[in-house]
Structure 1
Amino acid sequence: MGILNVWPSYTTHNYYINPNTTVLSAPMTVSEVSSVGSFPSLGAMVGTAVAGALINKIGRQKGGVVLCLPAILSWMVIGQTSASKVILAARFIMGITGGAFLVYGPMFISEIAEDSIRGCLASGPVTFYCLGSLCSFLFGWFLSYNVIIWTNVFICVLGAMLCFLVTESPLYLLRQGREEDALKALAKYRGGSTESKMVLEEISRLKQTLNPAVEMISITDTTEEKPEEAEKLNPDNEKMNTEVTKVEVLQKQSSIKLLFKSYTNRKAFQVVATAITLQVFMGMVPVMVNAGSIFKEAAPTIASDACSVLLALVLVVSCAVTAIISDLAGRRFLIISSSLMVAVCMISLGVLTQIKTGPSWLSALLILFYCFSFNFGAGTVPYVLLAEVFVPEVQAMASMILVEWAWFLNYAILELFVVARNLIGLHGAYYIFGAVSIGNAIISYFGVPETKGLSNQQIQEAFRRR
């Protein structure tokens, strides 16, 4: 997804009205060029909708292979066509893979990661998104149009082949009634034997996780009563019998009903949805997609290709730093400090762009520090939370809805960014991004509970207490 999102930043100049270009049979219109960048977000909404059901049906290993196929097909089509409409259709189809893997990654990680390193692993999808962006910028700097396309085909084929090496999720195997295979898979992920005490204890906990009774407190807490008040109202043993009955009823309901009937899942959904919304409107997506032109305007004396590569390198480093310290510093610290640093960068960059003074290298440096600050926490923590705050019964449904929302917002902000840039200037857009960043820090301080090192059941209890 990193490769396909960055690709327009160094490619679309070939599609404008240019009598010397031989890439297309006819040049694209301005709206078509804009759609080259935004259409993958629409395709990603389709991929998000089908990913959860697909990998729950055929498994994580086979599902990963199947989800790579739209990207392989799309790059091959782009490599063979000179029609603008076909390229737009291929970009849409390609987005299906990117959107699907944004659901696939957090789900799979939540099922195989130990609590002590879950934050590090959950930062992986964003880290590799940035690594893909870095590769794509390098391709744009050194390779020709056709070579880039076929290199991307090779990368997608390699991705599909690597999925064959993935060990199936133990949780998925347990759901299929394959307990012995689940035990072997868990032993492989833990580096132990199927007879080790650690593996046997964890497989027992996984079985309990699949039992909806572990969600009993949050399901029956729909009246939002405090625990001590509920105890006073129901001091006898009938309270427990009533709760178990409610759990059995809810167990038969769909994931969507269970998601919104459970108090803790509702609160978790609200927290992650808010974090993702504010994250998108902090502006990283339009900055990445339009990196070349932004650097050319902000720092005209510095080669835009070099700036773009440096930007992607900064993103990879920031994600790696986040992955290393996320299980030490905690989620709340990262997202609050990251948002405040982004606010400082965006407001400063807005001032420099508006008054048009100061050296060009300072503007370029602020953009790079903005990207580091964003991925230091605000860009990664929402997807860490997505991988850890929901119970297994609703994980797929919650991930689908939230990632759908994220892709819709990505599409919207790409379209709005062009309008805002024309109406209020690039500096005005920077001011808006800075204001959203301040709001994100404030809301995260009051709304995001600390989840580092906690088991899923402890996280549910933390949401219930809040």
Structure 2
Amino acid sequence: MTLKMHLSSLFENPNCLLNRRNRYQFLVTLLVNIVTFCHGLGVGWMSPVMRDLLTDQSPLDFPVLVDDISWIGSLVGIGSMLGNILAGTLMNRIGRKLVMFGVAFPYMMFWCMIYFVQRVEFLYVGRLLAGMTGGASYVVLPTFLSEIADDNIRGRLGSMILLTVNTGVLTGYIVSSNFNYFSTPPFIIILPLCYIMGNFLFPETPHHLIRKGKFAEAEKSFRFYKNINRDDIKAESEFEDLKIRLIKAEKEKENSFNYRDFITKPAFKAYTSAIVLVIGNQFSASFSVSSYLSTIFAASHTTLNLTMCTIIIGSVQIVGTYVTTLLCDKYGRRLLMLVSSLGSSVCLAAFGCFTYFAQDYDLSAVGWLPLVILACYICIVNIGLVGCVFVLLLELFPAKIRPICVSTFTVILSGMVFLALKIFPICVAEWGISVTMSCCSFSTILCFFYFYFFLEETKGKSLLEG
């Protein structure tokens, strides 16, 4: 009886994701994040494969060079930019749902290119298409989730995007390390098909339907996501309030929107914070480490099995993003960013120091240390610099300029992904892993000082606020 009462009180808590009001929002979040899981799976799968393509164990019957690997690794960033632009252009015109249907198709083409590969250009095109799925998802999913979620759980639902990506990355590491190159694509392609079918189970967001003047459909959608019946008078007044505020916001945007909105003090402050956020996200080496993890371990002088290290890091990555979902709405975004940027900088510096001394001294007695350092780094970087990035990008900007600015900075982030992935293996080849990681540590500590002095808390901020 006590357990029953405890569970009942837990589910009645408005902050519980399985609370009656929140549970459909949570379940739909899990459904739509199948596609981000798929994207992460492709990223994780490619990491050991790219290392193998340069060895005698290559599963392909044509040679692949180091320069080819840098293009295979980085073209996902160009594809992400294309996906950002397409999703940002289309989702306000044709709706979030149709764009969400579309993001699965480039990903299925990616696995077709992997399976039917005949020369290295097939891998180029495949990674470009995989990037398009990831880039489009990073635009449309945060918008979709922010419009169906209540303010008190928006941070947790938004941060699940990175949690499922990292779960996919770990799965990709495991699959790539244990299964044949050509046996994987026919089975993985089932996942995006499940995602497409799942999209038929829930409606368009009430925000988009209100903006299109479809008020009856919008109210039905609102009641679905809030899990409330037609007899709930309070819910009806809540929907009417949302409708009035959205219509008012749209009219104000039409009547008063001009270029001056982009040159206000709050706007410039948001630009600066977004730029630092993007730099911290990519030049902390977060995505580069995930993409080239097997190569990094090979250069780290570790005495441990490389496959085991890769899988352990993938597991820790999930822990970091899961911690974000637990803490994001409880302690706020700013604290997580401070802990993440400072901790990441320390870990990167420690990794750089270890690999530097390991070149001249026998450190085999502590050959496990690179794994410990990278595990700490991956956990800490995912708590804030990775896990909060899309939540913060949505919340930083004034309402009038938010759609354009979020789309623009998401494209910039994708460009940074391409740049970071392209130059990382070149920097490692030219400078060595020690100097490369130390440079990443320096850029990350600079971001910490900005967050400490200038970043404002956005926890609980309504997206209709100016």
Which consecutive unaligned segments of at least 5 residues does structure 2 have?
1-38
More divergent stretch after superposition (366-375 vs 345-354) = 345-354
Q: Aligned partners of 1:448, 1:156: CA distance in 2, in Å? A: 38
Q: Which amino acid aligns with 2:415?
A: F
1:14/1:172 CA distance change after superposition, 3 Å? same
Partner of 2:323: 321
| Structure 1 counterpart of 2:300, one-letter code | A
2:31 aligned partner = none
Other-structure match for 2:113 = 77
- How much does 1:336 deviate? 0.3
Q: Per-residue CA shift, 1:383-417, capped at 9, x if unaligned?
A: 11123344665443222211111111111111221
In structure 2, the residue corresponding to 1:408 is in which secondary structure? helix
- Which residue of structure 1 aligns with residue 288 of structure 2? 286
Q: What's the secondary structure of 1:267's corresponding residue? A: helix
Letter paired with 1:306: M
Q: Is the 8 A contact 1:107 1:395 kept in 2?
A: no
2:21 alignment counterpart: none
| Within-5 A mapping of 1:249-328 | 249-251=255-257, 257=259, 260-261=262-263, 263-328=265-330
**What is the CA RMSD across the aligned residues, in angstroms?**
2.2
Do the aligned partners of 1:8 and 1:36 also contact (CA within 8 Å) in 2?
Answer: no
Alignment pair present for 1:153 and 2:189: yes
Q: Report if aligned partners of 1:350, 1:430 keep a CA contact under 8 Å in 2.
A: yes
Distance 1:449 1:136 in 2: 36
The alpha-carbon distance between structure 1 residues 56 and 258, as it changes in their structure 2 partners (threshold 3 A), is farther
Indicate yes or no: 2:416 matched with 1:370.
no
Q: What SS does the aligned partner of 2:229 have?
A: coil
The residue identity in structure 1 corresponding to 2:120 is: S
Q: Does 1:94 align with 2:120?
A: no
Residue correspondence of structure 1 range 96-115 to structure 2 within 5 A: 96-115=132-151
Residue 56 of structure 1 aligns to which amino acid in structure 2?
N
Q: Which position in structure 1 is the counterpart of 2:13? A: none
Residue of structure 1 in register with 2:41 after alignment: 3
Aligned residue in 2 for 1:65: 101
- Quick one: distance in 2 between partners of 1:17 and 1:132? 25
75, 78, 98: which one aligns with 1:42: 78
Report the 3-state secondary structure (helix = DSSP H, G, I; strand = E; otherwise coil) of the residue aligned with 2:173.
helix
Change (3 A) 1:388 1:202: farther
Secondary structure, in 3 states, of the residue corresponding to 1:71?
helix
Does 1:402 find its partner at 2:409?
A: yes
For residues 59-98 of structure 1, give each alpha carbon's deviation from its aligned partner in whole angstroms, at most 9, with x where no partner exists: 2222211111111122113212222112211221221111
Give how far 1:23 is off. 2.0
User: Pick from 427, 438, 444: which aligns with 1:431?
Assistant: 438
Amino acid in the other structure paired with 2:134: G
2:343 matched residue in structure 1: 341
SS of aligned partner of 2:156 = helix
Q: C-alpha distance in 2, partners of 1:215/1:423?
A: 55
Matches of 1:336 and 1:361 in 2, distance apart?
28
Give the C-alpha shift of residue 143 in structure 1. Answer: 1.1
The 5 Å alignment of 1:408-427 reads 408-427=415-434
TM (norm. structure 2) is 0.85
Equivalent residue, structure 1, for 2:65: 29
CA–CA distance in structure 2, aligned partners of residues 398 and 332 of structure 1: 20
Displacement after TM superposition at 1:429 (Å): 1.3
Residue 447 of structure 2 aligns with an amino acid whose one-letter code is N
Distance in 2 of aligned mates of 1:323 and 1:186: 24
Amino acid of the structure 1 residue aligned with 2:317: L
CA deviations on 1:205-254 (whole Å, 9 max, x unpaired) are 432442455997xxxxxxxxxxxxxxxxxxxxxxxxxxxxxx76434x5x
Residue equivalent to 2:166: 130
User: In structure 2, the residue corresponding to 1:164 is in which secondary structure?
Assistant: helix
Q: Distance in 2 between matches of 1:182 and 1:416?
A: 47
Say which SS state the counterpart of residue 184 (structure 2) adopts: helix
Whole-angstrom distance in 1 between the partners of 2:264 and 2:327: 32
TM-score by length of 1: 0.85
Inter-CA distance 326–43: structure 2 relative to 1 (3 Å threshold): same
Q: Aligned ranges for residues 158-169 of structure 1 at < 5 Å?
A: 158-169=194-205
Aligned to 2:179: 143
Show structure 1 runs of 5+ residues with no match: 217-246, 461-466
More displaced 10-residue stretch of structure 1: 343-352 or 160-169: 160-169
Question: Aligned equivalents of 2:110 and 2:50: distance in 1?
Answer: 17
State the Cα distance separating 1:14 from its structure 2 match: 4.5
| CA distance 1:399–1:125, change in 2 (3 Å) | same
- 1:67, 1:101 within 8 Å by CA — same for their partners in 2? yes
Given that residues 85 and 411 in structure 2 are in contact (C-alpha distance below 8 angstroms), is that contact kept between their aligned partners in structure 1? yes
Following the alignment from structure 1 to structure 2, what is the Cα–Cα distance between the partners of residues 14 and 427?
23
Distance in 1, Cα, partners of 2:55 & 2:88: 42
Q: For residues 305 and 59 of structure 2, what CA distance do their matches in structure 1 show?
A: 25
The residue number in structure 1 matching 2:28 is none
The answer as to whether partners of 1:42 and 1:408 remain within 8 angstroms in 2 is: yes
CA separation in 2, counterparts of 1:215 and 1:373?
Answer: 43
How far apart, in 2, do the equivalents of 1:425 and 1:197 lie?
65
- 1:276-319: CA deviation from partner (whole Å, max 9, x where unpaired): 22221111111111111212232532111111111111111111
Residue type of the alignment partner of 2:441: G
Q: 2:11 is matched with which residue?
A: none
Q: Which residue is 2:14 aligned to?
A: none
Q: Which amino acid aligns with 1:23?
A: L
Alpha-carbon distance between aligned partners in 2 of 1:441 and 1:21, rounded to the nearest angstrom: 41
